[in-house]
Amino acid sequence: MEGIYSVSIIVPVHNSAVYLRKCVDSIRSQTLQNIEIILVENLSTDDSSTICDEYASVDSRIKVLHLNEAGPSIARNAGIKYASAPYIGFVDSDDHIAPTMYKDMFDTAVKNRAEVVYCNFCNEYENGNIEFFCPESKSIYLRSGKDVLKDILCEKVSSTPCAKIFKKELFSSFLFPQGVFFEDHAVVYKWIALCDKVVWIDQTYYYYLQRMGSTCHSINPTKRYHFFLAEYSRLSLVQNYSLFSKDERSDLTKLIVKNSLWHFKEFMCISGYSYDKDMFKDMKGKFEKCLSLPKSDIRKGDYKRLKKIVHFWPIYFVIHFCFKKR
């Protein structure tokens, strides 16, 4: 099977029967024909499993993996291990893509010998409205891994694995972390850090369905804690990434500490008096490690907050989470 396909496209499938046909049809209609479509169905209780098998029976490019455990990272990792093409892409099962997306991205990757190519995406709502984020030039920009890494850390480039293709070799270093939410926020930047060449196609190809009830629209304390962990995990790379200058490292550290404090605050506001003590202890321990960073790498106000959380938590809790309204 090695060498037959140009791109392996992995689609995690879980209870998405309502949207699945539109998604798969958009992939089957790609102008790049030699694609491997891997539908990873994991413990759906609707008709998703049947729909996957129906597609596999009529299109030999479609492979279906039926898993006995659920989770987007579990599904993506299973698809990565099965994939046979030199490049890998991801599409969520409730989204759809433009017909030329993978041909344009693959051709661009080969021409520029890029490890990653990414494009623009838009938000599509269930009422049919589509939200585009900015005017686009439809131009192609060759970028360094360092510059794209900085943009991801600064939230100028999305951490989603969708709307991108990755050289398969990148996944030999890291797979998606399993058992956590916001796993893409915790790992995509690591793959980008391994790249020499990244290409941006300034054009929208990916339609990201915004629907109530999805992971990103339903936040609870556990999800907020996982988002904190994903954000905090970036600190180690920033502190050790040799291509960053001292000023770049300092600015990015300030941003990560600021964002980590914000996720902590949101965790506490959602949890109230019943906050999970183990999660809190872990976050507090990580804040204590932040205090060992150079003071110049932390904003003055954030440094004070860290000290109060670490050393004066009971008082800080009463003042900021008992008496103050959110």
Q: Is pLDDT at 300 greater than 70 in this prediction?
A: yes
> Could you tell me which residues are beta bridge partners of residue 66?
41
pLDDT average, residue stretch 196-211? 95
C-alpha distances out from residue 196 to 145, 146, 154, 155, 199, Å = 5, 8, 19, 20, 10
Residue predicted with more confidence, 202 or 273: 202
- What is the band of 325 on the pLDDT scale with cuts at 50, 70, 90? very low
Vertex 297, ends 295 and 299: CA angle to 5°?
Answer: 80
pLDDT digits (tens, 9 = 90+) for 7-65: 999 999 999 999 999 999 999 999 999 999 999 999 999 999 999 999 999 999 999 99
- What HEC string does 75-137 produce? HHHHHHHHCCCCEEEECCCCCEECCCHHHHHHHHHHHHCCCEEEEEEEEEECCCCEECCCCCC
pLDDT average, residue stretch 113-138? 92
Which superfamily, per CATH, for 7-213?
A: Spore Coat Polysaccharide Biosynthesis Protein SpsA; Chain A (3.90.550.10)
C-alpha distances out from residue 195 to 39, 173, 276, Å = 27, 12, 38
Q: Is 50 helix (H, G, I), strand (E, B) or coil?
A: helix
For residue 294, give both structure tokens: 């150079």
Q: Is pLDDT at 2 greater than 90 in this prediction?
A: no
Q: How far apart are CA 166 and CA 143, in angstroms?
A: 15
Vertex 10, ends 184 and 189: CA angle to 5°?
Answer: 25
- What HEC string does 221-264 produce? HHHHHHHHHHHHCHHHHHHHCCCCCHHHHHHHHHHHHHHHHHHH
CA atoms within 13 A on the CB side of 235: 23
Q: Is pLDDT at 216 greater than 70 in this prediction?
A: no
- What is the band of 127 on the pLDDT scale with cuts at 50, 70, 90? confident
Model pLDDT, residue 326 = 46
CA 75 to chain centre: 14
Model pLDDT, residue 59 = 97
pLDDT digits (tens, 9 = 90+) for 63-106: 999 999 989 999 999 999 999 999 999 999 999 999 999 999 99
Q: What is the mean pLDDT of the chain?
A: 93
Residue predicted with more confidence, 34 or 324: 34
Is this structure's pTM higher than 0.85? yes
Vertex 201, ends 195 and 207: CA angle to 5°?
Answer: 110
Q: Is pLDDT at 223 greater than 90 in this prediction?
A: yes
